[in-house]
Chains A and B, each alone.
Chain A
């Protein structure tokens, strides 16, 4: 087993006819993901690299049995594309798009029916289950199949962590980027629940950053529910307060959301917290069961 994406994934790419959409459609397929459809309104009937394009997500789902979507639609239309994927009844919609207005996400998250489509992102690299399916923009070749789940608010910092793991021969079950925006569809806790229940995942790397309280909520969950070891890192220990550090959600406001607070919360929940981002792999090596 892996979580969110795997052999069962049948991928639909929204915004497939754009430059990014077309490029990553190819990259996901080359990795071995079954890419079954694309959607670009008004371009139904075309093909991109052999993948049929539809006008609407509903049509695409009906014709191809797609169950997961990857969104490359420009920011001002991205929330609408996510809403369309939710309406089409997909299991998962992964939004790569950066700079989606926060209030658009507030509305989309509110409109999602309970138990409906899971939304991952926006402003995230996606999810990958090594050797099974890649649904995102991460470089596939740094991953290796194994038993460590990775969950992160960042993109390239996740690659860094994965690289450290793979280099030590530690493979991954699934790596999930939840996104750097203030309002996102899937939280740390949501992914931790999946990893906790996944037979194949034996340990978890959690990479947080300054801003908000998602890491504190994760710490709460870990203290109560998690029996698998968790290694944690928080980026932004040196970030000045009141400034947005690249990600819309990475900001210390009114003295809240600091790295120090988050590291303390995770530590007190039993997480193996590393101060240096270079120590993630080594710490996991020593935290893994049987080591």
Chain B
């Protein structure tokens, strides 16, 4: 689950990670009021679930009330296009008004779970404000990493090593060590899958602060992260994806015209791949899961066919726990209920497949059966071209 910057900062501050003072607002009037409480200068920051806001004009410095008003009016209620939003951009509904801080140095720090070692890893770099991916390619020697033993947590000597490596001196050194230790506690305590502070700021007085903060929390841990779960902003998510999530379906909307319905994530990806290889584009990723019920099948079918760019549906099911006859039953019911608007190519294999094939053939509906994944993809493409 992704969070807004202001939410991430509030959560981190709960673990004593230092952040600038700031207030989230949803109107120009609130922005002006917040700025006068904080004192000038302030920074006006668009709150959307995407990075690259600064370069896209979504972060502006304001030295007085007129400037705050102007910045808030220019950003709030407008679509911001950054390199992470895609060309359609994101509507900005919320701003963070934050106190301006003086910047002596900009550093970088992030925490992830390193998959190879199965341990939390801290990544730090003196090149703050830059994409870490770029730093990794251009100046890999500037990146330091530390693996943390989850049984004991981040050790002070490890934090010192990182702080020395970042070139911190004087009061900034001690503040930097405290900052890193607090950040690890937050990562651990919040079940984060990623925390990225870029830049991690050093002020002229040696204060160390998170000037920006990106926080993603493990969806599987939300049952024990109630405070985080309550912060979900579904306006930042695609409506069809939200709807699918409500039915415990894994759905991701893509740009093509072939609606895909598959059981299992790996097979669903492979189905998208073979559609592309055959010469068409998948409209979505959709995993109905291992034990989908007739209801689930109906919901899945409704969601994928409500995407107006879908021109044909490809169903690929390898029945294990999910029996093919149950799929056929759900599908026939769904098509009857929703009306068969789109051509449907079905590939089924596995448990009770013979029964299922008969059910589809006897339904009197226009399903195109396929033998194997390749045949299915080829039939989809042929039908698209004939249409």
Contact = CB atoms under 8 A, between A and B. Distances in A.
Given A110-B151, A155-B264, A156-B267, A101 B220 contact: yes
Contacts of B133: 254-256
A154 to B, nearest CB: 2
Contacts of B119: 106, 110
A85 B45 CA distance: 50
Contacts of A245: 252, 265, 268-269, 285
Contact of A107 (B150, B270, B349): B150
B367 interface: no
A111 B267 CA distance: 33
What is the size category of the interface that chain A forms with chain B?
35 or more
Given A76-B223, A110-B118, A157 B373 contact: no
A158 B266 contact: yes
B120 A106 contact: yes
Interface stretch (B55-63, B177-185, B317-325, B379-387): B317-325
A187 to B, nearest CB: 8
Nearest to B323: A139
Given A213-B115, A255-B133, A235 B266 contact: yes
Nearest to B262: A156
Nearest to A239: B269
A109 interface: yes
Nearest to B322: A156
Given A210-B269, A276-B374, A217 B116 contact: yes
B221 A103 contact: yes
B267 A276 contact: no
A111 B118 CA distance: 11
A99 B318 contact: no
Given A142-B350, A248-B220, A155 B270 contact: no
Contacts of A276: 273-274, 277, 373-374
Contacts of B221: 101-103
B220 A209 contact: no
B115 A182 contact: yes
Best-surrounded residue of B119, B219, B321, B373 (most CB of chain A within 10 A): B321
A255 B264 CA distance: 24
Interface residues of B, number: 56
B188 A249 contact: no
B269 A250 contact: yes
Contacts of A211: 115
A259 B276 CA distance: 14
Best-surrounded residue of A155, A247, A278 (most CB of chain B within 10 A): A278
A182 B350 contact: no
B188 A154 contact: no
B361 interface: no
B265 A154 contact: yes
Contacts of A259: 273
Contacts of A247: 265-266
Interface in A228-256: 233, 235-240, 242-243, 245-250, 254-256
A246 B268 contact: yes
Contacts of A111: 151
A180 interface: yes
A163 interface: yes
A106 B221 CA distance: 13
Contacts of A190: none
Contacts of A160: 267, 270, 318, 349, 373
A57 interface: no
Nearest to B148: A106
A103 to B, nearest CB: 6
A44 interface: no
A200 B353 CA distance: 32
B109 to A, nearest CB: 15
A238 B220 contact: no
A152 interface: yes
A5 B52 CA distance: 50
Contacts of A242: 84
Given A106-B150, A158-B266, A212-B115, A238 B219 contact: no
Given A139-B351, A160-B318, A276-B274, A101 B250 contact: no
Contacts of B254: 238, 240
Given A217-B116, A238-B282, A276-B274, A100 B318 contact: no
A106 B148 CA distance: 11
A147 interface: no
A286 B285 CA distance: 32
A219 interface: no
A33 to B, nearest CB: 16
B115 A214 contact: yes
Given A99-B220, A103-B188, A160-B318, A155 B118 contact: no
Interface string A106-132: 110111000000000000010000000
Interface of B: 84, 113, 115-116, 118-120, 131-133, 149-151, 188, 191, 193, 218-221, 223-224, 250, 252, 254, 262-277, 282, 285, 287, 290, 318-321, 349-351, 372-374, 377
20 contacts: A75-B220, A100-B220, A101-B224, A102-B191, A103-B113, A103-B221, A106-B119, A152-B266, A154-B265, A155-B266, A156-B263, A160-B318, A236-B272, A238-B272, A240-B254, A247-B266, A249-B115, A259-B273, A276-B374, A277-B373
Query: Across chains A and B, which 5 residue pairs bring their CB atoms closest together, nearest first?
Result: A154-B266, A246-B265, A156-B264, A157-B266, A278-B374
Given A102-B218, A103-B150, A157-B266, 14 more contacts: A99-B219, A137-B321, A152-B266, A154-B265, A155-B264, A238-B269, A245-B265, A246-B268, A246-B285, A246-B287, A247-B266, A254-B132, A259-B273, A276-B277
